[in-house]
Amino acid sequence: MWQNLGRMRVEILCTGNELLDGSVVDSNSAWLEAKLFEFGLEVAEKRVVPDDIDVIIEAMREISLRADFCVTSGGLGPTPDDLTAEALANAAGVPLVEDVHTAERLRAWMQSRGREYGPAQSRQALVPKGAEIIDNPVGSAPHIQMKIGKCTFALLPGVPREFFVLADAHVIPRIHERFSKDISEQYAFTQLRCINVWEADMAWAVRELPKSHPSVRIGTRTMAPENHLKLRASGPTRAEAQARLDAAVREAKDKLGTRVYAVGDTTFAMATLQKLRDEGATVAFAESVSGGMAASLLAEVPGASHALVASYVVYSEKAKMNLLDLDPDLLAREGPVSEAVTRELARLARERARTTYAAACTGWAGPTGGNARDPVGTFYAALATPSEVTVSRFEYPRADRERIRKGAAYACLDLLRTAKP
**Mean residue pLDDT across the chain:** 94
pLDDT, average across residues 153-181: 95
pLDDT at position 181 over 90? no
pLDDT at position 7 over 80? no
Domains 10-182 and 268-418 share a fold: no
Q: Taking the domains of the chain in order of start, what are their residue ranges?
A: 10-182, 186-263, 268-418
pLDDT at position 119 over 90? no
Torsions phi, psi of 184, nearest 5? -105, -10
Least confident of 108-117, 189-198, 226-235, 293-302: 108-117
In this structure, which CATH number among 3.30.70.2860, 3.30.930.10, 2.40.50.40, 3.40.50.300 belongs to the domain 186-263?
3.30.70.2860
CA 182 to chain centre: 30
Identify the band that residue 113 occupies on the pLDDT scale cut at 50, 70 and 90: confident
pTM, to two decimals: 0.80
pLDDT value, residue 185: 85
Identify the band that residue 336 occupies on the pLDDT scale cut at 50, 70 and 90: very high
The CATH T-level fold of domain 10-182 is Molybdenum Cofactor Biosythetic Enzyme; Chain A (3.40.980)
pLDDT at position 168 over 90? yes
283-287, strands of its sheet edge to edge: 308-313, 283-287, 357-363, 378-384, 389-395
pLDDT, average across residues 169-197: 91
Torsions phi, psi of 193, nearest 5? -95, 125
- The answer to whether the CB of 101 falls within 8 A of the CB of 108 is no
Identify the band that residue 2 occupies on the pLDDT scale cut at 50, 70 and 90: very low
Least confident of 4-18, 219-233, 276-290: 4-18
pLDDT, average across residues 361-384: 96
Strand-pair partners of 361: 287, 381
Contacts of 41 (CB under 8 A, 6+ apart): 4, 5, 6, 8, 10, 175, 179
**Spatial distance between the Cα atoms of 421 and 281, rounded to a whole number of angstroms:** 9
Least confident of 4-13, 128-137, 303-312, 322-331: 4-13
pLDDT, average across residues 410-421: 95
CB count in 10 Å sphere of residue 26: 19
Identify the band that residue 332 occupies on the pLDDT scale cut at 50, 70 and 90: very high
pLDDT, average across residues 306-332: 98
Which long-range contacts does 364-371 make (Cβ < 8 Å, 24+ apart)?
364/289, 364/337, 364/404, 365/289, 365/401, 365/404, 365/405, 366/400, 366/401, 366/404, 367/401, 369/337, 371/335
pLDDT value, residue 6: 46
pLDDT at position 3 over 90? no
Strands 186-195 and 226-235: antiparallel
Q: Who has greater pLDDT, 120 or 194?
A: 194
Report the amino acid identity of residue 310. A
Tell me which residue of 398, 386, 394, 382 sits closest to 314, measured CA to CA.
382
Strand-pair partners of 156: 73
pLDDT at position 5 over 70? no
pLDDT at position 1 over 50? no
- The answer to whether the CB of 51 falls within 8 A of the CB of 75 is yes
In this structure, which CATH number among 1.10.10.10, 3.40.50.720, 3.30.413.10, 3.90.950.20 belongs to the domain 268-418?
3.90.950.20
pLDDT value, residue 45: 96
Residue range 223-253, pLDDT digits in tens: 989 999 999 999 999 999 999 999 999 999 9
CA triple 392-397-401, angle to 5 deg: 90
pLDDT, average across residues 259-271: 97
User: Helices 268-279 & 401-418, crossing angle to 10 degrees?
Assistant: 30
pLDDT at position 4 over 50? no
pLDDT, average across residues 391-399: 94
Identify the band that residue 305 occupies on the pLDDT scale cut at 50, 70 and 90: very high
**Spatial distance between the Cα atoms of 17 and 396, rounded to a whole number of angstroms:** 35
pLDDT, average across residues 277-302: 98
pLDDT value, residue 324: 98
% of the chain beyond a pLDDT of 90: 90
